[in-house]
Structure 1
């Protein structure tokens, strides 16, 4: 999970820079087409694949819907908002939503009081990050579509928490990580096909094929393989707690992007989220031990 955070943070900053001059929907369509093809080829080598029943099919459909919402929300947010703040929204809202969704969907009963306290704390810090961006104290200037980017980043964070739980449900039914990855992006591709200007697909490939390939590897293929393994090994809430350390790592990678001005306000918010996340991981380790 730690390696996932580092790789995805670097990829998010690079993607945010690239998307400033690119057609975001065309770039995403091409990227997810490559990702879907790659994971389908990898899944062909799996043996003893789990059988898809009616219940599993419904979970896959739901997973395709929330995957489309979370990934498109993430990348559109990166285009209009400081990357470290976008990642902070996802890290702040994911644990809060996961506590209650996990209790409801997986029927594990009421969450521990410590999890609830940590979730409320992180959500509060997330509200502070919203103020940072809206008040003009972020590393990227507030623009005409910044509020739109913030809303999509928040939606992406909520969708991501549900995504982790649905993936865990499929793992519990015997599906492999490669199987899940192979069949979770059809909805994203269909949605993007309806959003893109089809006449711009070929020019986008000819001008930015290297950037698209880099985004595929650094923000999708490699991180997804890493996080799928993490989801398999630990509970969804713990996954989101580790992901909560991503904002500070993303903030450090922003020093490589001259477009972003270092913001002490963003740094403070990222540090607060990281500290709370690490404390909670220690508490969970002691409780499980």
Structure 2
């Protein structure tokens, strides 16, 4: 029986890890594509178009499938709904502005790899009782060391974008850190809604209201040509950068703890590093690949440690198939 439970636990972990790995790859693709397009399209127009298209799709999908039942979240979980709208807006606006200034792989690694560090803080505050093991704390601290190396490289011109100046690097890193904080809080609130039985489709139907309002407010001074130029890039970002990745992320979150989610998602930079060379502006950077490989190795170690820890817990809590007298029941 214990062996069957361990097998079931492994299957549950796999159900969470596979969607999270898909999310990591899609996020990398979005960062590379978005960084390229944001050189010619304003972040404001891209934000307005992409999030409007995503929200309309998921709203229509949810209404067709389940009517207006998802609106009960606005009553039963209104604080979490407001919070996830705010964290979504903070995370994505920071991402778009960071991508205008820094190498996509660096934005990706700072924005995602800092996640485990902030999850340790936000999880303890927002989801009391959430478990964190010693190995995950060590991994989070190790990730901070490698991130400091990448930060140094951004200021000294050692990354793929070359010498961009201290001011540009500082703003890019500032927005990347803001993205990391927002992403960590976002994952935690998504987990809270999932814990309350809300499906990924329901959450996606209500999480973009603030983002849409901010996006169109910011385009108020933009010309019609600027908005029109963002239509195709906005549609691409809506699919590969928002809708599909967030959907698979929500599925992964249902089967993993937030700290585990953050560790797996932090593998995304390795995808971004190799994808970004499809953009002719960028050149290989040894410093970036060293930092990314180090972070990937730590994230993998943390994920495996969590899997072993959860497996031991399951084994310890499964009742024995035998009573104390040795008779099988």
Normalised to the residue count of structure 2, the TM-score between the two structures is 0.83
1:253, distance to aligned residue in structure 2 (A): 0.2
User: Is residue 148 of structure 2 the alignment partner of residue 116 of structure 1?
Assistant: no
- Say whether the 8 Å CA contact 2:85–2:209 is kept in structure 1: yes
Distance 2:80 2:130 in 1: 21
Distance 1:18 1:197 in 2: 21
Distance 1:129 1:178 in 2: 36
Which position in structure 1 is the counterpart of 2:101? 80
SS of 1:145's partner is helix
Q: How does 1:32-51 map to 2 (within 5 A)?
A: 32-47=51-66, 49=69, 51=72
Q: How does 1:164-175 map to 2 (within 5 A)?
A: 164-175=187-198
User: Is residue 85 of structure 2 the alignment partner of residue 70 of structure 1?
Assistant: no
Distance 1:165 1:109 in 2: 10
Distance 2:221 2:294 in 1: 43
- Say whether the 8 Å CA contact 2:27–2:245 is kept in structure 1: yes
Distance 2:187 2:42 in 1: 29
Flag the structure with larger Rg: 2
Which position in structure 2 is the counterpart of 1:97? 118
User: Is residue 294 of structure 2 the alignment partner of residue 272 of structure 1?
Assistant: yes
Distance 1:21 1:38 in 2: 26
Structure 2: unaligned runs, 5 residues or longer: 1-19, 312-329
Count of residues in Structure 1 that have an aligned counterpart in Structure 2: 288
1:261 aligned residue (256, 270, 283): 283
Which position in structure 1 is the counterpart of 2:157? 136
User: Is residue 169 of structure 2 the alignment partner of residue 177 of structure 1?
Assistant: no
SS of 1:80's partner is coil
Which position in structure 1 is the counterpart of 2:315? none
Distance 1:194 1:232 in 2: 34
Q: What per-residue deviation string (whole Å, max 9, x for no partner) do you get for residues 59-115 of structure 1?
A: 111111111000111111111110000011022210011012212211116732222
1:195, distance to aligned residue in structure 2 (A): 2.2
1:186, distance to aligned residue in structure 2 (A): 1.0
2:247 aligned residue (209, 212, 225): 225
Which position in structure 2 is the counterpart of 1:20? 39
Normalised to the residue count of structure 1, the TM-score between the two structures is 0.94
SS of 1:44's partner is helix
User: Is residue 169 of structure 2 the alignment partner of residue 150 of structure 1?
Assistant: no
RMSD over aligned Cα atoms: 1.7
Cα separation, partners in 2 of 1:242 and 1:86, compared to 1, 3 Å: same
Structure 1: unaligned runs, 5 residues or longer: none
Which position in structure 2 is the counterpart of 1:57? 78
1:262, distance to aligned residue in structure 2 (A): 1.0
